Each structure stands twice: as structure tokens, then as C-alpha cells.
Chain A
Amino acid sequence: MSFATALLENVLSIAEEKNAKQVTKIKIEIGDLLLINPEQLEFCFEAVSNGTIAEGAELNIEFVPPKIKCSVCGREYNEVVGVCECGGFVGVDGGKEMIIRKVEMVV
């Protein structure tokens, strides 16, 4: 539930700043590695936003992959691996953020 709650708090503070009457759409970017199930997030958001001005807002979710790259040979991977075929350490960058990009509202 906590991702939905944090999302709601942030959205409401943006909406209040603009004196919005209703929030209608929210565009968010979510890192793949947060392993969030979009349907579940939508469901939880619906539950926590009930009775607020964000009730009924549509979530527009875009998933963003992390950059996974060997620190020695530079080979890139599509999934998290610890060690590269060359024996180098494979670093992971990003993929863990949840960023609100746009909020559509009625003012």
C-alpha cells in the first residue's frame, strides 16, 4: 500500500498548490526494478484516494528499465546479473525510481 499512499500524498500537494477541484490524470514513470504490478498500484491508488480530489484519477504508467553494464568490459545486459562473462562486476544504475511527470486537473 505504501507506494500508492506516497503517490497520493505527492499528487495532492501538487493539486493543492494549484487550487485544483479534481485530479483527472497522473503520468508516472516507474523503474522496472521496483517490481510494481500496475494493476495492483491502480487498485491501491483507487482505495487510498477514495474521498479525496484525486478519486477516480487515471494513472498513466510508463516503466523505465535500469542500465545494467559490466564495469570492466562494458557489456550491457537486459537483466540483473552479478558477474559478467569476463569476470567483471556488473553494475546496475537506476530502475528504482517512481517519478510523477504530469498531473492533469480541473481548476
Chain B
Amino acid sequence: MHKIEVDAEIDVLSLNKRYAKENREFFRRNNILAINIMGAIGSGKTLLIEKTIDSLNYYKIGAILGDVVCKADFERVSKHKVKAKAINTGKECHLDAHLIHHKIEDFDEVDILFIENVGNLICPVDFDLGEDVRVVMVSVTEGDDVIAKHPEIFRLADVIVINKVKLAEFVEADVDKMIRDAKNLNPKAKIIKMDLKENLGFDEWLKYLEGLYVSRCNREG
């Protein structure tokens, strides 16, 4: 019995990367636009999905809803007559590519697949799901420094949605500061000022989404 030291060069996150790659290939093969919606708890992720389903009824839409314990979001989205699945992550505070891998097979028919991540601005960042588009949604009620406080997730976003802007004056949040922070962290991201209850910015979101879908199909040839 003796001690040995083994040299290694093992990427601990490689398993997630492998599944993400397979998921991405699945989305390509089936011509699916996959959208990972991340964001703060209660920022409006599920409502955004619900309203989008109702507005884009000429697309076939599917949704995977990640939640820590319950199935409330799944039940909400299911009412809109689309295929939906829930993933309970238990104590994990994010979805990972492997969890998604087991669910996506059933969505091979859809045009757009929404994946609602667990409400959290830190942990989902490092877990690529194989999605095409990363949306990060916050609302003014989280405080106007919420973007500056979580640079990583905003830096890697394709779309940054600032929701509930009509409540800004009541919570004394400076929406312009939030937009400035977002632009400064991520000059390439699409930034949308939104209020889902007042329909503000929602058309801009729909247009953007359709644009993505079209360019996606063109790439597919």
C-alpha cells in the first residue's frame, strides 16, 4: 500500500458541455429555436412565455419549466394548449444540459421551445443548455442595481429584458440606469424595456423573436 500522485487534465464541466452540444444538434436537426429564459425570481418569466404563446399562435410552441419544487408554472403554461413539461430541480438552483436532454425528445415537432430556468441570477450562468438564445429577465422591483450586481449573467445574455417598468416610480428605481448598466456590460445584447401588464415593449419582443426565427430558418438553408 502506497501513495501515488496522478496527473490529470480533466475538465469537470465537460459533461455538461457534451450534453449541451447534443441538445444543440437536436435543435438544429429539428429546426427548433430554443430559448433559455433566465432571470430573477418573480421577474415575469412565466408571464412572458404565456403571453408569447397567445400572440404567436401560428407557431408551434413548446415549453419546459424548471422549478425548485412545485409545478405551478407548468400548470399555468399548460392552460395555453401547448406541449409543456416540468422539471423539478430539487435543491439545485439551475437547469443543466443533462436535465434538459431527457425532456427535449418529446418536442421534436415544435418551432419554438421556451426553457424557463430556475429564478436565480447566479447559478444558471455556467450551464449552457444548448439553447440558441439566452434571455435574462429582471424587473425594476428587484432594485435598479440588480444588473450591476450580477455582471456575469448579463454579459452572456443575447437579450436583456427589464420588466415592470411602470412600477419604477413606486419603487424608486431608475430604469435609465438599468439600461446604461446593461449596455455597458454587454454592448451586443438586445435590450428591451418592458411592462407585461401594460403591454409595453411586448411587440418589440415579438418582432425580435420572429426575426430570430426567420434568420434561423435561413441558416438552415
Chain A residues whose CB sits within 8 angstroms of the CB of B96 once the complex forms? 2
Which of B24-32, B40-48, B67-75, B184-192 lies at the binding interface?
Answer: B184-192
A-B pair number, CB within 8 angstroms: 83
Contact with A along B155-171 (1 / 0, CB 8 A): 10000000000000000
* Interface members, chain A 69-87 (any B CB < 8 Å): 80-83
Chain B residues whose CB sits within 8 angstroms of the CB of A6 once the complex forms? 12-13, 15-16
Given contacts A35-B152, A104-B3, A106-B2, contact A89 B9 (CB under 8 A): no
B176, CB-defined interface residue at 8 Å: no
Q: How far is the CA of A6 from the CA of B13 in the complex (A)?
A: 7
How close is A73's CB to chain B, nearest CB, in angstroms?
15
Chain B residues whose CB sits within 8 angstroms of the CB of A25 once the complex forms? 5
Choice from B3, B8, B92 contacting A100 with Cβ under 8 Å? B8
Q: How far is the CA of A33 from the CA of B12 in the complex (A)?
A: 15
Q: How far is the CA of A14 from the CA of B5 in the complex (A)?
A: 11
Choice from B4, B5, B152, B188 contacting A89 with Cβ under 8 Å? B188
Tell whether, in the assembled complex, residue A18 and residue B6 are in contact, meaning their CB atoms are under 8 Å apart. yes
Tell whether, in the assembled complex, residue B10 and residue A102 are in contact, meaning their CB atoms are under 8 Å apart. no
Chain B residues whose CB sits within 8 angstroms of the CB of A97 once the complex forms? 11, 13
The prevalent SS among residues of A at the interface is: mixed
Given contacts A97-B11, A99-B10, contact A82 B2 (CB under 8 A): no
Tell whether, in the assembled complex, residue B10 and residue A82 are in contact, meaning their CB atoms are under 8 Å apart. no
Which of B8, B11, B122 has the largest count of A CB atoms less than 10 A from its CB? B8
A59, CB-defined interface residue at 8 Å: no
Q: How far is the CA of A97 from the CA of B13 in the complex (A)?
A: 7
Q: How far is the CA of A34 from the CA of B151 in the complex (A)?
A: 12
A87 — nearest CB in chain B belongs to which residue?
B187
Contact with A along B172-199 (1 / 0, CB 8 A): 0000000000011111100000000000
Taking A1-B91, A33-B152, A99-B11 as given, write out 19 further A-B residue pairs in contact, using a Cβ cutoff of 8 Å, ordered by the A residue number: A3-B12, A6-B12, A6-B15, A7-B12, A18-B4, A18-B6, A21-B1, A92-B155, A96-B126, A97-B13, A98-B12, A98-B13, A99-B9, A99-B10, A100-B12, A104-B4, A105-B4, A105-B6, A106-B1
16 A-B residue pairs with CB within 8 Å? A2-B96, A6-B16, A14-B6, A14-B10, A18-B6, A24-B3, A82-B186, A82-B187, A89-B188, A92-B155, A97-B11, A101-B7, A102-B5, A102-B7, A104-B3, A104-B6
